[in-house]
Amino acid sequence: MFHVIRVSSSYKMVVVCCSERQEPRPEDPSNTYFIYNNLTDEDFEESSYRGVLGYFSGIADGMGFGELPKEPFSSLDDVRRWREERALKSDIDSLDSLIADESFSKNLRKKAAIELAELHRKLLALSKKV
């Protein structure tokens, strides 16, 4: 089972623990960890328990905290789809807020609207894959 144990508020950073337990114990040496960070990774990278600890430090708190899924996933591919959908929805919400804020220039809001349309297209395409 693949348990998402840490996620940033933008869903662009995700830490996954692969464990056979329903409630994984972080220090269990049989666990396998995977990290996705859109700043450094193209995909989930395998990590050690020690490598994962930094994502729970005070410095990492600046990434915020997204909502963890209630149930584990059966595959890393399922986690990828979940993360991509959540990241797109987070970006859509951010662009919606920018477009609604009249303190931003009309040109910037127009560019945001174009990007928003593209994100909605990607989200629709992602939902059709399932």
pLDDT for residue 108 is more than 90: yes
pLDDT of 30:
84
Name the strand (E) or helix (H) holding 122: helix 106-129
From the list 44, 96, 88, the residue with the least C-alpha distance to 66 is 88
* pTM of the predicted model as reported, rounded to 2 decimal places: 0.82
**CA dist., res. 79 & res. 5, Å (int):** 12
pLDDT of 63:
80
**CA dist., res. 47 & res. 34, Å (int):** 5
Q: Residues 17, 24: contact at Cβ < 8 Å?
A: yes
Tell me the domain boundaries of the chain.
Answer: 2-72, 84-129
pLDDT of 99:
92
Q: In this predicted model, what pLDDT tens digit does every residue of 56-104 receive, in sequence order?
A: 776 667 788 889 999 999 999 999 999 999 999 999 999 999 999 999 9
pLDDT mean across residues, the chain: 87
In one-letter notation, the amino acid at residue 96 is D
**CA dist., res. 49 & res. 35, Å (int):** 11
- Tell me the chain's radius of gyration from C-alpha atoms: 17
Mean pLDDT of 33-55: 85
pLDDT of 130:
62
pLDDT of 59:
65
